[in-house]
Structure 1
Amino acid sequence: MAASPVVRADNLVLSYGGEPVCAPVSFTLGAGRALALVGANGSGKSTVLRAVLGLLELAGGSLRVLGREVDEREQIFRAQVSSVLDDDAYFPALTVGEHLLLTARGHGLSKPGDVVAQLLEDFGLTDHSDVLPVALSSGQRRRLLLAAGFARPRRLLVLDEPEQRLDQRMRAALAERLRAETAGGGAVLMATHDPELLEAVATDAVLVGDDKSVKLRVAEAARAIRAEPTR
């Protein structure tokens, strides 16, 4: 029997104040796969991610994550879904190292100190381990949030434009890490405006739009991004 998808969205309808955010969205995401949501700014990509994370109520359609209806309050959901949105969701009173260590320990990671030391190195934050997040640059804070997303067990990793505020070297390192994520059986769902990241990581893509939301081949999705107006 085939394993059930990690995420299944069927004619997902999302709205704010009764107004649809985008056309209905359908996709499936299996273990060991990476699905990229693409589309213009304001097309609804981030809204789809928030729905998958249980942060937005559906206006229509159906959505299942890990074989269950989404409830972000459930322990099983919180234990298996990790996310990095476009928010500065850090602990302001904790240093960079303390933030990552709390995350790793809180999720029962084996040898959390070793894991955190490696994440600090991989994300170029070793020299900032004892610094409070407010003292970091915006790019450094972004790297902290990404590191925190990897500092815990997970079956699904949800990322909203993870390339934001990263230099080219760090984007390449992130792509390598995400490829390792799927190679190890994890599932990645991300919104992105970076065609190189998409081509390096994604196995599937969906174009989210006002009039229609359609599945694309990765090469088609990369071309769609490159055709976007300069931001």
Structure 2
Amino acid sequence: MTETGAVLEAEQLVVGYGGAAVCGEVTAAVHSGQVLGVVGVNGAGKSTVLQTLAGRQPAISGEARIQGLLVDPDTVPFRRQVAAVFDDDLFFPSLSVAEHLLLVARGHSLPNPELRVAAELKFFGLDGRADAVPDALSSGQRRRLLLAAGFIRPASLLILDEPEQRLDPVMRDALARRIKGHAEAGGAAVLVTHDPGLLVETAGSCLVIKGEVELVEPGDGAAFIAGL
């Protein structure tokens, strides 16, 4: 693998469908306290990379590890390390907003789950909709519920696929602070985004996917933005 002691390690990872790669090999490491951005045009393979890292689809070749564990969503140790938010509104239709978050909080044995849920509801501006079911929410509110469910649970790695979608500018700024806070608390994150402000504000390095995959190191803001 690339390095030992990394939260995420990917070595010559090839992702795609039906044996056909959608982009070049991915080799990268993300340590505690770091956020890795992933940028590229639509269809470049960004979401496929994240889906593979989260274990939602198998790699074609190469491998990835989270906290030294091979990607395997069927194992409890792997699932405990990873919180992922994708663009799929998967909810229990009869559970309220608060009940969804309580389910996650209690499922991960968080202390004082009701207080944790109340904090997430306030942060994501959902405290006034705590008793609403998902179908009664706006598109932006459903997005905030997905993010709240991702952030409330403990995880060493956050995988976020365009988390800024359907968020207003104020909430995008709050999201940037939350991602940075996760890293400052010792976590790591991989972030796909088309938002230049969110990318520059949070990511210390970036994978630019343009057929081949280039790792852009910190300090090259122009290269970051060029990849969007």
Q: TM-score, normalised by structure 1?
A: 0.93
Segments ≥4 residues shifted beyond 3 Å:
none
Listed one character per residue, the Cα deviations across residues 78-124 of structure 1 (whole Å, up to 9, x for unaligned) are: 11211101110222210001000111011101111001001000000
- Asked if structure 1 preserves the Cα contact closer than 8 Å seen for 2:10 and 2:28, the reply is yes
- Asked if structure 2 preserves the Cα contact closer than 8 Å seen for 1:33 and 1:187, the reply is yes
Unaligned runs of 5+ in 2: none
Q: Structure 2 CA distance, aligned partners of 1:175 and 1:192?
A: 11
The equivalent of 2:36 in structure 1 is: 35
Q: Structure 1 CA distance, aligned partners of 2:198 and 2:126?
A: 22
The equivalent of 2:82 in structure 1 is: 81
- Asked if structure 1 preserves the Cα contact closer than 8 Å seen for 2:66 and 2:81, the reply is no
* Match status 1:222 vs 2:224: yes
Q: Structure 2 CA distance, aligned partners of 1:24 and 1:220?
A: 23
Q: What SS is found at the alignment partner of 1:63?
A: strand
Tell me how far 1:18 sits from its aligned partner.
2.5
Unaligned runs of 5+ in 1: none
Listed one character per residue, the Cα deviations across residues 31-62 of structure 1 (whole Å, up to 9, x for unaligned) are: 11000100001111110111111111111122
The equivalent of 1:109 in structure 2 is: 110
- Asked if structure 1 preserves the Cα contact closer than 8 Å seen for 2:89 and 2:146, the reply is yes
Q: What SS is found at the alignment partner of 2:84?
A: strand
Q: Structure 1 CA distance, aligned partners of 2:124 and 2:132?
A: 15
The equivalent of 2:94 in structure 1 is: 93
Listed one character per residue, the Cα deviations across residues 172-227 of structure 1 (whole Å, up to 9, x for unaligned) are: 001111111111000011111111001111111011122x10011351343215xx
Percent identity between the two aligned chains: 47
Aligned amino acid, residue 41 of structure 2 = A
The equivalent of 1:213 in structure 2 is: 213
Tell me how far 1:3 sits from its aligned partner.
5.7
- Asked if structure 2 preserves the Cα contact closer than 8 Å seen for 1:206 and 1:221, the reply is no
Q: Structure 2 CA distance, aligned partners of 1:221 and 1:152?
A: 33
How many aligned residue pairs are there? 224
Aligned amino acid, residue 159 of structure 1 = L
CA RMSD of aligned residues (A): 1.3
The equivalent of 2:51 in structure 1 is: 50
The equivalent of 1:169 in structure 2 is: 170
Q: What SS is found at the alignment partner of 2:142?
A: helix
Aligned amino acid, residue 40 of structure 1 = V
